[in-house]
Amino acid sequence: MVSFIFKRILQSFLVLLVVGLVAFAMFRFVGDPIDNMLGQERTMEDIERLRTDLGLDQPFVVQYWKFLEQAAQGNFGLSYRQGRPVAEILLERLPATLELALISGILALIGGITLGIFTAIRRRGIAANIIMTVSLIGVSLPTFLIGIVLIYVFSVELGWLPSFGRGEVVEIGGWSTGFLTESGRKALILPAITLGLYQMTLIMRLVRTEMLEVLRMDYIRFARARGIRERTINFRHALKNTMVPVITITGLQLGSIIAFAIITETVFQWPGVGLLFINAIQFVDIPVMAAYLMLISVMFVGINLIVDLLYFAVDPRLRDEGRGGAT
Amino acid sequence: MAETPLDLTSRPSRLRNFWDSDFMYAFCHAPVAMISFAGVVILILSALLAPLIAPYDPFNPASLNLMNGFTPPGEANAFTGDTFLLGTDDQGRDIFSTILYGMRISLFVGFSAVGLAMALGVLLGLVAGYVGGWVETLIMRIADIQLTFPSILVAMLIFGIAKGVTPAEYRDQMAIWVLILAIGLSEWVQFARVVRGTTMVEKNKEYVQAARLIGRRPGAIMLRHILPNVLSPVLVIATITLALAIIAEATLSFLGVGAPPTKPSLGTLIRIGQEFIFSGEWWILLFPALTLLALALSINLLGDWLRDALNPKLR
C-alpha cells in the first residue's frame, strides 16, 4: 500500500513536470519575450542586457529549472495585457470560481445521487423513465445553451434573477465572498445550476447503473428473503456498495467542474479565473495562460491523488491486496 | 430449409450481403436509430447543398440590405416588404441561410477533427499495442496525462498557443484549421486506448502469427491484418466523438475562441444571437441553437444505438 501511494505521488509530480514544461515552452517560444517587454525604441545593447537579465542566454534545462523555481513560489511575471503580476490577478479572481464550483458541486452531488437512487429503485415507473429521457437530452445540450435558456427564462422573461456578474461581495481577509449579501446569493443561483446540471446528469446515470448492478446481487436477494424492509435494503445494503465507483468519478468530475466553469463564467460574465483565461486566449496573454494552466493542473493532480487515496479508505479489499504485495 | 439446394456458384453481391445482415435487421427494428439516422442525413445533406437550398448568400455583401435587419420570422419587413422564413439578424442576413452555411462549417470542423483524432489515435494505438515496450509506455503515459484534463480545456490551450504562433494578419483565415487541430488533438486518447487494447488481444491470434511466419513486415501486419479487425469499436467511438467535436467547436466559437464572425459556425451564430435576447429578437438565437441541438442529439442517439448493435461488450 505504501508503495502504491508512493508511486501515485511520483506520477503526480511527473504530470506537473510535464505541464510545467508546456507552460515554460509557451513562455519561451510563443512570441519573443524580449519583443513583448521592450518597446519600439531599443538598441542591441538593451536586447543583450535584457537577455542576460532574464537568463535567456543560459541552456534550456537551466532556464526550465529556474522557471519551475519561480512558479513554485507563485511568480509568473507580469500580465502582458494588464501589466500587473499574474499571481495577484489570479488570487483576486480565484474566490469567485471556487465559490461557484463548490455550490454547483454540492448541487450535482445531492441531485445526482438522489435522482440516481430514485430511478434505480423505481426502474419501471413513469417518472423514472421521464427523468432518464430528459437526462439524455441534457447530455447532448451544450453547457452554454443551458445557461442561455436559464437567462432567457429567469432573467429576461420572469426578471427574478440577475443575468450577469456576482452581485455585491464582502471582503474577508482578502477573500471576496458573495455568500453574505442577498444580491450575491441571487447572482449565484443561475450559474451554479448551469455548471452543476451536466455533472448531475453524469452522476445520476452512474449511480443508477451501479445501483441496478448491486440490486441484482445475491446478498440483496438473500436480504429480501430474510424479510428485511425494502427501505433498509436499498439504503443500508445496496447504497453502500454503490458508493465506491461514485466517489472516484465524482472526484474526477470535480476537476472538470473547474474547467467547465470557463464556459459558465463567460455566459454569465462571472468574474472568476475562467473568464480571465478566455480573455487571455483572445489577447494572447501568455503569462496568464501559463499560470492558469499550472494552477488548474495542481488542482487536478491534487484531486486525483486524493481520490486514489480515498479509494483505499473506502474499499478494504484493495488494502488487503496491497498488503499481499499484489499492487 | 433443408430442401433448398445450396447455391455455391453465385455469391451474393456486397450490397445484398449488407442488406441481409443482422446489422440491417437490427437497424430496421429500432425506430430511434432510423429517426436519428434520417435526422443526421437530412442535416448533412442540407449543409452540403447549402448553396442550392439557401434563398440568400449571407456572405455576399451585395445581397444584404440593412433595411431588412431584425425582420421577425415569417413576417414582411416594414420597409422593404421582404419576408424571411426564419427572420433576419441585425445586418439583414437571412437566418435560414446563415444556419445552412454555419452548419457547413460546424460539420466540416467536426468531421475533420474526428478524422484527425481517429488517424492519430488508431495509429498510435496500433503501434502501442503491437510493439509494446517503452514505446507503449511513452504513448500511454502521454495519453494518461492528457486524460487528466478535460478535452475542452486542452482544445482551448492548443487554440491559444496556435493563435500566439500565427501572425496577426492570418489569424482569421487560419482559425478554422487551428480549431480542427485543437479539437483533433484533444480527442485522440479514446481511440488510442481502445485500439491498443484490441490490438493486444488480436496480435496473439493465429492469423497474425501466420502473417508473421510468412515474413510480412510489422507495418503491413498492423495495417492490413490487425486494423480491419479493430475497426468496429473505432466506428462507435468516432460517432460519439463526432457529437463531442461538434459541441466542442460550438462551445469554442461561442466563447469567441473559434470560428471568426466572417465565417460563422453554429456556435458563432449563437454567440451573436445571445446579444439580442434582452431586446426581444429571440429568433436570432433560437433557430441556430435548435439546429445545434438537433444535430448533437441525433448523432448521439445514433452513436448510442451503434454501440449496442456493433459491440455489446463496450456497454
Determine the pLDDT at residue B108: 92
Q: Where residue B124 falls among pLDDT bands split at 50, 70, 90?
A: very high
Determine the pLDDT at residue B6: 57
- Residue A95 and residue A294 in contact, taking contact as beta carbons nearer than 8 Å: no
* pLDDT tens-digit map of A96-136: 888 888 888 888 888 988 888 888 888 778 888 888 878 87
- Of the candidates B243, B255, B270, which has its C-beta nearest A266's C-beta? B255
In this complex, do A145 and B145 lie within 8 Å of one another by their Cβ atoms?
no
Return mean pLDDT, chain B.
80
Any CB–CB contact under 8 A between B289 and chain A? yes
With 90 as the cut, is the pLDDT of residue A164 above it?
no
Any CB–CB contact under 8 A between A18 and chain B? yes
- Of the candidates A142, A282, A289, which has its C-beta nearest B247's C-beta? A142
In this complex, do A15 and B148 lie within 8 Å of one another by their Cβ atoms?
yes
In this complex, do B247 and A286 lie within 8 Å of one another by their Cβ atoms?
no
User: Would you mind telling me the total number of residues written for chain B in this entry?
Assistant: 315
* pLDDT: which is higher, B241 or B232: B241
In this complex, do B150 and A260 lie within 8 Å of one another by their Cβ atoms?
yes
What percent of chain B is modeled with pLDDT above 90? 7
- In A, which residues are within 8 Å of B296 by CB distance? 140-142
Query: What 8-state DSSP symbol labels residue B168?
Result: G
Query: Distance between CA atoms of B307 and B315, rounded to whole angstroms?
Result: 7
Q: Where are the alpha helices (DSSP H) in chain B?
A: 14-19, 22-28, 31-48, 50-53, 95-131, 133-148, 151-165, 171-186, 188-202, 206-213, 218-220, 227-254, 266-274, 283-310
Q: Where residue B314 falls among pLDDT bands split at 50, 70, 90?
A: very low
Helices B266-274 & A143-150, crossing angle to 10 degrees?
Answer: 20
Query: Distance between CA atoms of A326 and B299, rounded to whole angstroms?
Result: 43
Question: How many of the other CB atoms lie within 10 Å of CB of B49?
Answer: 12
Of A36-45, A70-79, B179-188, which range is least confident? A36-45
- Residue A301 and residue A242 in contact, taking contact as beta carbons nearer than 8 Å: no
* pLDDT tens-digit map of B23-35: 777 777 777 788 8
With 90 as the cut, is the pLDDT of residue B113 above it?
yes
One DSSP character per residue, A148-200 reads HHHIIIIIIIS--S-SSS----EEETTEEESSSSHHHHHHHHHHHHHHHHHHH
One DSSP character per residue, A260-312 reads HHHHHHHHHT--SHHHHHHHHHHTT-HHHHHHHHHHHHHHHHHHHHHHHHHHH
Query: Distance between CA atoms of B110 and B106, rounded to whole angstroms?
Result: 6
- In B, which residues are within 8 Å of A156 by CB distance? 277-278
Return mean pLDDT, chain A.
78
Of A155-169, A261-275, B108-122, B277-291, which range is least confident? A155-169
Any CB–CB contact under 8 A between B285 and chain A? yes
- In B, which residues are within 8 Å of A297 by CB distance? 148-149
- In A, which residues are within 8 Å of B303 by CB distance? none
In this complex, do A281 and B300 lie within 8 Å of one another by their Cβ atoms?
no
In this complex, do B300 and A278 lie within 8 Å of one another by their Cβ atoms?
no
Going from the C-alpha of A138 to that of each of A102, A134, B297, the distances in angstroms are 21, 6, 9
Q: How much is the average pLDDT of A42-70?
A: 73
Q: Which three cell numbers stand for residue B241?
A: 466523438
Q: Where residue A259 falls among pLDDT bands split at 50, 70, 90?
A: confident
How close does chain B come to A35, measured CA to CA in Å?
13
Query: Distance between CA atoms of B73 and B71, rounded to whole angstroms?
Result: 6
Q: Which three cell numbers stand for residue B214?
A: 510468412
Any CB–CB contact under 8 A between A161 and chain B? no
Rg (CA), chain B: 24
Query: Distance between CA atoms of B65 and B45, rounded to whole angstroms?
Result: 28
With 90 as the cut, is the pLDDT of residue B119 above it?
yes
